[in-house]
Structure 1
């Protein structure tokens, strides 16, 4: 310390214990984050964490993203949430494992290769299937590498060097093996029923592979002439149906009615010039829809009359003729009766109350067809064209190869008009299913497909949770799985409860084939139709393990797998591939079950995906595992919402409102993107945009300022400075109490995946209780005290705060907390991500002390409120220029008398009285008032307090406390 003489007064600034740190206020995250990524890779942080025995495993199983493009903001949201789960579980003492994975098979990748072929004028069907599959494999592998680096840049931890890929040979073997379990347990069958069919892609699609968009279509009202059972209704009576798919009329086999609907017989008494109705014609219609239906035919209410009621019993006796019956050139194609059948699916919400029923083209239609043994039609081919020998419509397509409407609807309408088989037509806009890949409309089409029966009792001996797939799934949902939020349970339960059998087959080339064989000449329901042979299965699996699924497509494959076991000539080899949802639904088997770093019991503690996965991965994984292991493959499911732009609109490249993770990272840094995720309620849709990110960055800067203060005040702290909690002043003990409360809240929040709750609690603590209160109060002692017990206690608390805050926030701000940690722990092998959250002693909890300091802080707010007015009026410049009087009741005075209330209020002096009334009050702190007064004395040149004793000590111009500190 510089000596003080009368000629050379001491520079008191140099005697203060001012903060010392190189920690920058400007983070520079975009530039610095890659350095920490490289450091973690060099340290093998993830690998080191796996070498800690005795920990309880926690496995988050990664829902595989699709390997076919750069990441979007939804990917970032999903992976950051997963990372926060894994890191928070690890830092609470568990062995949190995370194996990233990718979905590599299926139509989206195959479609990309086909697009490349089309650009080169190359015919896909002329390419060797194994060559084509290799191109698909190379395409997927390239995107896996790109996406892996994009995910790692977000700070996502995991076994990136050994991800799981559905196209790995072992994975393809296990997927085939899991499928074979369905073959052997009796759930697999080949059936012919309507499926979602993409005419453009020429394959069946799962519900999860379609999206709904508006499109225009022609709605038609078609009268079916009553030919039997309607003698009491009149000779010209017709049943009117309504449909938005005119192309299905040639496939009509019945008309359904609702037994609870009120029906009437309506007779035409007049007509305008342009009208297809004729005077005297009688139409059967639902009463609530009659006016709308007849209005579509240009009939006003004065042009028809209601003749009488028609009961359900009467309707059930009616038989109609198909509207194309007897048409010249029809060659008898439609010379059959059309019965009226009761159906629970019929409503009077729209249409006519009568539902045109084509069993080949709708689920309800099919169910009615099965119940009443209606004939199935096969008029529509794979490309959505009518079969070549169908009268009138041969070759007309529903959907053209470019996804646009074909001529099928127009052709059917034209023929109906020609034969007098139409009552009305109207152009409407409807929301209909489209392929999410080609964006072209899909149709419901009856095609022979392979199904997993979900209501057939399985012969696998795994009946603990039910005998059928559906029973096991519903039991799992209710008894075995925890849902976050709980609404996820309701959604999946209702879907599983109502869903039909699972369509497993796809008519494509890139995927795992349905590894099964069918008996030549055997019927589908023949017990020997499917070859069920464990030895054959073992051969297939061994080949797949060594060569991948390409082995199925090599020359002589059938003979290779069957010869010596059964006669290859007696069996056909199935060439369809599996639904990719079966692939991803099987990932638990080859990842959780088969890998040494998987799950000890083959189950995941958590599946975490967006709400769309209730019909996707959550759903398919549930069905698949219930078929192969008898229960759900997960113990917990967490669901997050979608990402929207700042205005709440769905993101779209065409609209230009997308937010790319790469752009956010380059501008702000990955930690800002991670903090955006942590702050938001992920259970609903999340908004993101420039202004939102600026707000997140502002919160980040405030937190960074808190950490910078800690680092500066702890610059030379050592264990020799440490003070036991029992020896600390009450203020420090209060901070420890708050840390005890927060530690419990943080741990509970992380275990409940309540990241917004954790962040908000810690952030409010840092900004309100630390920066605005504790730091504010203790700066004087930290800067101006000598080696006092008070200063040592404060720095001990700051050290405790450092270890709690860095570990609490490390799962969220992975880069920043590493930077903070290394400022005090610069060793080569150091990393905050190798630490656990410190245990917090129960002895820190002190509810009585917390209540006392709640009172003190409330009174302090009144004082600071009074001083702020004086500061605005420029009566004072700083609070140390004040010496106010505080008026409180006797009990409160007794509390304030036990502390240095002037230090707490950062005033040079303060008087506390239990009587009187001050000039300033706050409505929410009753019984407290403050009267302002200026401090008396001189300003200490070292601590800036205004005190009467300044100038009376050995050192010039300082107070007694500072004189002691100077020695």
Structure 2
């Protein structure tokens, strides 16, 4: 009788339950299934024998071998056809709507970050969408109502450029541009949507969100209106990142920094014409500045210094020129100029106050020396040339000291008339730079020119360098939102946690966000400008009216409708504005990051518009994660998400970024359907999903033939196990034939306990977005607990016991639970395989699908007190037995287990009540011919007996009582013969059956 007390085994041994020529070993390898009856050896030996004697052949039909038409492997077109058939038969298309209609206590909301509608689906899409779908399917299986609405980001310059192609915008009206862009986006959406469906992503694909829908645009304008009314949105004339190649302003998130950019850096002099009052008179001193952007020199308005730093007037040994530089930069400048620099005088930066310089290229212009905190000593001279029109820090200085902000650069990146006839119409980054340098050289102000390789911002769409120039734009004051956003972010769970630092750093970096764009394809900013004054007319009345129109007609109406309709009399009256004839409609559109950043307002449910999770790639740390956070905090004072999951990028197997030029691009369509040559087989959707699940998605995710072949092989091994389980459940109906857990063999109960542990760990892993851990748990469970242990142990009982016996039904009950648990545990990752197994599995109606039947079912009775300890103790003894006969067939030996009266002895007695047995649960576990259980070593052991000793530590009552039980094992070859039916060594002679098989065959004959 099993001792039902809480005992925990310390120092448990690993279950090394390999075949050891143990009479079968891994049964699902030893047996080869055909579509119907399993072919191969009987239950006793692994693999078919060269020839079977007539006695063995005579009893073959009395052995209950596995039978199933579930295929061990599917390849090529059969695999593709089967997946599509599964999607059709099992209602993949209707699953999302079904689960939304059912009652559920809790909802799980995963808000879909919109992929960009400007190209074909790629493996980055697959990584993202499948990762989301795995979590959604898991949440649905465990009874939650999933809220997941796929969406697309449809506006923006890349779509506009691709749609227009070589046509350009010349001669096209905004409406014509928008029509072509919309057509292009719709086509890209259709291709991407079809791919997502083929991958098995669960959603209502007829109810997606698109940022060009009128209802979405109206919700977006409502967010804009609320932010404007709270003072977060304003118009200003200030420097912005400007892309001459796109002719539009850009936000920080639209930049790519090229670390290999080469600039022509210069050292130039600004002669001091008014010495600072605190400095002794030094005639002919020039301030030395350094810049990597010589084209900005004509726009110079000041030279800045660091108030607390030391500065020196130095004399060049080679030409006696006097230069003002930072004291700590003297040594490096001396090396750079190739001459000694003799220090004439040294003083603090604050003593430079009041100094005035002459502009080097504009003789009549004078510029002051001004203090500034952004001056650094890392490079240059410690004195910074300041052009407020072309630098963010420079603009701050200008704002503080009321300097003018003169822009000499137009929207094409060329000098304007204001720059003078020598520079007008020259592109500032190329020939404009050449001309400025030659002008500095001509007037003697150029001291040194050098090439400087440094990180420089590029337009992420055109891959061309940008400039900083002032422009009248619309901005969000992120400086005033930053602290609130940080506080909100502290309440958000971030996976991996290391990504939180990047999010906070990006918030710190951004002081304002330029949200206006000079394009046609986007949501127009609902503003009107007075024809004479240029003043903007925008308020809650004008915006509410425009939002209503957008919802009804879409944002094309901004260009389609007359201004009298956009700005009707009642709106003008409420706005206290003049007649409509005095106004023009604005031409700017909103930044697409504002488009997508407002998605929470358009998509999430109003009752609690916070998603449980946002799941996107690491590039969204400075993109959608941020724009969503800032807009939500501004309007609602809280984040739009409870957790953020930040995954890496898909890269080649060499870790390289994918590019067509390198030829390492992996097309998910080719992965699924195969390529033109034999080297690119059809893997199907589940292999693609396994690749996503198995990867460490929090780092860069490698994909290529090796990864895909490994995924395919892993799935085939899993199919092998599932086929074994299905084959042994042929004719078993758990609804009427299942055995109650309390009546089961202890090893069967123990397997339910291990299944319960596995299912709990898998559940926790899914909840952490860690599908890779699920796969590792699954593979360990199958390899260690099933294939190498349980399947080997139960083969005799499963194949050779009477079909309806308690022992066999007990085993089948567990096999059905194992099949069900393993299939459900892997279903979120492999939905096609899971539903295919479920179609073959017993115990449910034919029209029922796995995904409509819930998560893994486990009951508390599976974890019986004392059960684990009894089995672990027996397994420790089993390990000792198998290690005594390495490489030998355990079935050919008798085992004597000697344990002094103790708790361990009582535990073993629960597995074998009689002193000696060939059919006890302990004998089955040992897979030996006979097991003798005694408290004293027998005196009549055969001389060739092998002895071994061991101990098993048991803790009682949480360690209050500890018992270190010793045991000994005597192993000797059995004197019994091998039974021709069961192939166990339990027969009196080789030509007769063992008593058990004799009885079974007699009953078999009677039933025939």
Residues 342 and 68 of structure 1: is their aligned pair in 2 closer, same or farther, counting only changes over 3 Å? Answer: closer
2:362 match: secondary structure: coil
Moved more, 142-151 or 665-674: 665-674
CA offsets, 1:773-824, max 9 Å, x none? 1112112211111132221111111112222222221111111111111112
Alpha-carbon spacing, 1:262–1:759, altered in 2? closer, same or farther (3 Å) = farther
In 1, the alpha carbon distance for the partners of 2:867 and 2:489 equals 46
Calculate the TM-score normalised by the size of structure 1: 0.88
Does the alignment pair 1:305 with 2:312? no
Q: Which moved more, 1:86-95 or 1:556-565?
A: 556-565
Contact 1:736 1:844 in 2 (8 A): yes
2:596 to 579, 584, 591: 584
DSSP 3-state at the match of 1:762: helix
Match for residue 808 of structure 2 among 773, 791, 795: 791
Q: Following TM superposition, by how much is the alpha carbon of 1:73 offset from its aligned partner in structure 2, in angstroms?
A: 1.4
**Equivalent residue for 2:504?**
493
Give the structure 2 partner of residue 443 of structure 1. Answer: 467
Matched residue, 2:325: 285
| CA RMSD after TM alignment | 2.8
1:842 partnered with 2:860: yes
Aligned to 1:249: 297
| Residue aligned with 1:939, SS | coil
Alignment match, 1:636: 643
Go from structure 1 to structure 2 and tell me whether the alpha carbon gap of 1:735 and 1:8 turns closer, same or farther (over 3 Å shift): closer
Give how far 1:558 is off: 5.0
> Cα deviations across residues 508-566 of structure 1 (Å, max 9, x unaligned)?
00010001223444476xxxx433242x3343223212221110012523554234542
Change (3 A) 1:15 1:512: same
Q: Distance in 1 between matches of 2:564 and 2:589?
A: 16
Tell me what 2:575 maps to.
none
How far has the Cα of 1:699 moved from its partner? 2.3
Aligned to 1:82: 132
- The offset of 1:601, in angstroms, is 2.2
Instruction: Tell me how far 1:209 sits from its aligned partner.
Output: 1.5
1:16 matched residue in structure 2: 63
Cα–Cα, structure 1 residues 959 and 552, in superposed 2: closer, same or farther, change >3 Å? same
My pick for the range that moved more, 383-392 or 581-590, is: 383-392
The answer (yes or no) to whether the contact 2:94–2:204 under 8 Å persists in 1 is no
Tell me what 1:223 maps to: 269
* Structure 2 counterpart of 1:433: 457
Contact kept in structure 2, 1:379 and 1:390, CA below 8 Å: yes
Residue of structure 1 equivalent to 2:850: 832
Partner of 2:42: none
Q: Report what 1:142 is aligned to.
A: 187
SS of the residue corresponding to residue 647 of structure 1 reads coil
Tell me: CA distance 1:739–1:189, structure 2 relative to 1, closer, same or farther (3 Å). same
**Of the two structures, which has the highest relative contact order with CA contacts closer than 8 Å and spacing of 6 or more?**
2
The answer for the alignment partner of 1:275 in structure 2 is none
8 Å Cα contact 1:703-1:767 kept in structure 2: no
Residue range with higher mean Cα deviation, 46-55 or 716-725: 46-55
Instruction: Identify which of 313, 320, 323 aligns with 2:357.
Output: 320
Q: Distance in 2 between matches of 1:663 and 1:30?
A: 12
Q: Paired residue for 2:988, among 944, 949, 954?
A: 949
Give yes or no for the alignment of 1:759 onto 2:796.
Answer: no
From 265, 289, 292, give the equivalent of 2:313.
265
- For residues 360 and 875 of structure 2, the distance between their equivalents in structure 1, rounded to whole angstroms, comes to 86
Rounded to whole Å, the distance in 1 between the matches of 2:551 and 2:62 is: 74
Deviation at 1:30, TM superposition (A): 3.4
SS at match of 1:126: coil
Runs of 5+ consecutive residues of structure 2 not aligned to the other structure = 1-52, 573-578, 674-681, 912-920, 938-944, 954-963, 1004-1008
Seen in structure 2, the aligned counterparts of structure 1 residues 846 and 8 have a Cα distance that, compared at 3 Å, is closer
**Cα gap change, 1:233/1:725 in structure 2, threshold over 3 Å: closer, same or farther?**
farther
Q: Is the 8 A contact 1:603 1:635 kept in 2?
A: yes
Q: 2:663 corresponds to which residue?
A: 656
For residue 777 of structure 1, what is the aligned residue in structure 2?
793
- Corresponding residue for residue 997 of structure 2: 962
CA distance in 2 between counterparts of 1:185 and 1:501 reads 16
Shift of 1:839: 4.1
| CA deviation profile, 1:674-694 (whole Å, cap 9, x unmatched) | 112212222222222222222
The answer (yes or no) to whether the contact 1:512–1:549 under 8 Å persists in 2 is: yes
- The within-5 A match list for 1:292-441 is 292-297=332-337, 299-300=338-339, 303-326=340-363, 332=364, 335-343=365-373, 345-391=374-420, 393-398=422-427, 406-441=430-465
1:736 aligns with 2:752: yes
Structure 2: how far apart are the matches of 1:307 and 1:919? 96
Report if the CA contact (8 A) 1:937-1:950 is conserved. yes
Indicate the residue corresponding to 1:187 in structure 2: 232
Residues 131, 342 of structure 1: alpha-carbon distance in 2 compared, 3 angstrom cutoff: closer
Contact 1:551–1:557 (CA under 8 A) maintained in structure 2: no
Distance 1:506 1:103 in 2: 16
TM-score under structure 2 normalisation?
Answer: 0.84
> In structure 2, what is the Cα distance between the partners aligned to 1:847 and 1:483?
39
The answer on whether the counterparts of 2:350 and 2:371 sit within 8 Å (CA) in structure 1 is no
Query: What SS does the aligned partner of 2:992 have?
Result: coil
State the partner residue of 1:881: 892
d(CA) in 1 for partners of 2:999 and 2:118?
A: 71
* Cα deviations by residue, 1:131-167 (Å, 9 ceiling, x for unpaired): 2211111110011110001111111111111111111
SS of aligned partner of 2:455: strand
Residues 923 and 438 (structure 1 numbering): CA distance in 2 closer, same or farther, change over 3 Å? farther
The answer to whether the 8 A contact 1:72-1:659 is kept is yes
Q: Does residue 675 of structure 1 match 2:710?
A: no
Q: Give 1:389 shift.
A: 4.1
Quote the Cα distance in structure 1 between the aligned partners of 2:873 and 2:427. 77
For the pair 1:27 / 2:74, whether they are aligned, the reply is yes
Q: 1:562 is matched with which residue?
A: 568
Q: Is residue 2:934 matched to residue 1:934?
A: no
String of CA shifts for 1:167-203, please: whole Å, max 9, x gaps: 1121222223322333333322111122121100001
Structure 1 residues 9, 637: closer, same or farther in 2, change over 3 A?
closer
CA distance in 2, matches of 1:367, 1:961: 95
**What is the deviation of 1:430?**
1.7
2:288 matches 1:240: yes
Tell me if structure 2 keeps the 8 A contact 1:197–1:205. Answer: yes
> 1:890 Cα deviation (Å)?
7.1
Q: How far 1:655 moved relative to its partner? A: 1.6
- CA change 1:259–1:959 in 2 (3 A) is farther
1:510 to 518, 521, 536: 521
Instruction: Decide which of 738, 741, 751 is 1:725's aligned counterpart.
Output: 741
Other-structure match for 2:929 = 908
Residue aligning to 2:616: 609
Distance 1:7 1:406 in 2: 94
CA contact (8 A) 2:56 2:980 kept: no
Aligned 8 A contact 1:105 1:511 in 2: yes
Equivalent residue of 2:973, what SS? coil
Match of 1:276 in 2: none
Equivalent-residue separation in structure 2 for 1:8 and 1:421 (angstroms): 109
Change (3 A) 1:336 1:796: same
Task: Work out the CA distance in 2 between the residues paired with 1:611 and 1:928.
Answer: 57
User: Contact (CA 8 Å) 1:452, 1:503: kept in 2 or not?
Assistant: yes
Give, in whole Å, the separation in 2 of the partners of 1:222 and 1:376. Answer: 22
- 2:133–2:201: 8 Å Cα contact kept in structure 1? yes
Q: After alignment, is 790-799 or 689-698 more displaced?
A: 689-698
* Partner Cα distance (1:742, 1:233) in 2: 85
Cα 1:781–1:421 shift into 2, 3 Å: same
| Structure 2 match to 1:473 | 485
Where 1:226 maps in the other structure, the secondary structure is strand
Question: 1:131 matched to which residue of 2?
Answer: 176
